[in-house]
Structure 1
């Protein structure tokens, strides 16, 4: 089994406003790991995290990130380990400022980048590329380049989907539910 997840973290906007804009509400149910379809956590670094147990969640679609990033910064990350795909994007004030994407189906060293990348990118990439080279390059059984977007997202927000939240409570995640009024109405992002 591997992860197939999406998440976003917001800095500069009140968590309740984030949930309202995403048409989500708190349930009061907490969990140690994000096992609910959608959950949230306040990170010790100040970022507010919304986590979806689904790859390519509509929550991290371009439209959602553009709208949500009005007046703040949003980092989004997606991971699909079954095909070794990972990406991280930064939106601020309604615009995509940069992105880093790895798709092993395009090649073990594949990395698509655009925008004004954070300064940490170069060190992360150089280190993981060296590990890939040292492990046999494109003949290796390990894909270190897959970690470039994931590691960059962690350096910025402090969150990594496969690690505990350091400095947080024992059950840092709170399950979220749709805020739609009628039972039949679904928010624009909800497909499951």
Structure 2
């Protein structure tokens, strides 16, 4: 099985503000298995929210990045699509997308990616060219993922989420009675 998720790293808002922006609350133990939301703080000051089986949108990023910075990363390993983006104060700064259905070397770059982008792109493009004879691995897929990790220090495959908690969207009645 492959991953299908988006994760968001937020800097400049408290965890409570991030949960409010997502419309979430902390899950109680019986709700643990029924939520696609997981997240928590990173030691470097970012707060990460993982949303399973979801692709982030520009509207979400515009809303979430109000008065802060948000880096998001989407991975859909079943079809080898990855995308990362940075928004600050409601405005997109950069976005990098790979869609293997376009081509194995597809890479769409918008805005001004951070300084580390060139080295990541060059390293993984070189690996892709070396592997093209076998054609078994899509290294270009990792460019947006590695870029988001370089900026935030988080990767959905890493072990930095050991202290993360689970979150749920409250039902209408729970919101009504604040439970």
TM-score (norm 2): 0.90
Matches of residues 1-192 of structure 1 in structure 2 within 5 Å?
Answer: 1-27=1-27, 29=29, 36-56=35-55, 60-136=56-132, 140-165=135-160, 171-182=162-173
The one-character-per-residue Cα deviations of 1:81-135 (angstroms, maximum 9, x if unpaired) are 0110000010100011110000000111000001011000000000000000111
Alignment size in residue pairs: 173
Asked whether the 8 Å contact 1:35–1:53 carries over to 2, the reply is no
Cα distance change, pair 179–36 in 1 and its aligned pair in 2 (3 A): closer
> Matches of 1:24 and 1:119 in 2, distance apart?
34
Structure 2 residue aligned with 1:188: none
Asked whether the 8 Å contact 1:55–1:79 carries over to 2, the reply is no
> Matches of 1:184 and 1:47 in 2, distance apart?
27
CA RMSD, 1 decimal? 2.1
Q: Report how far residue 182 of structure 1 moved.
A: 2.7
5+ unaligned residues in a row in structure 1: which ranges? 186-192
Cα distance change, pair 10–115 in 1 and its aligned pair in 2 (3 A): same
Q: Report how far residue 180 of structure 1 moved.
A: 4.5
> Matches of 1:179 and 1:55 in 2, distance apart?
18
Give the ranges of 4+ consecutive aligned residues of structure 1 lying more than 2 Å apart after TM superposition: 179-185
> Matches of 2:170 and 2:89 in 1, distance apart?
25
TM-score (norm 1): 0.84
SS in 2 for 1:182: helix
Cα distance change, pair 152–35 in 1 and its aligned pair in 2 (3 A): farther
> Matches of 2:54 and 2:72 in 1, distance apart?
12
Structure 2 residue aligned with 1:189: none
Asked whether the 8 Å contact 2:35–2:168 carries over to 1, the reply is no
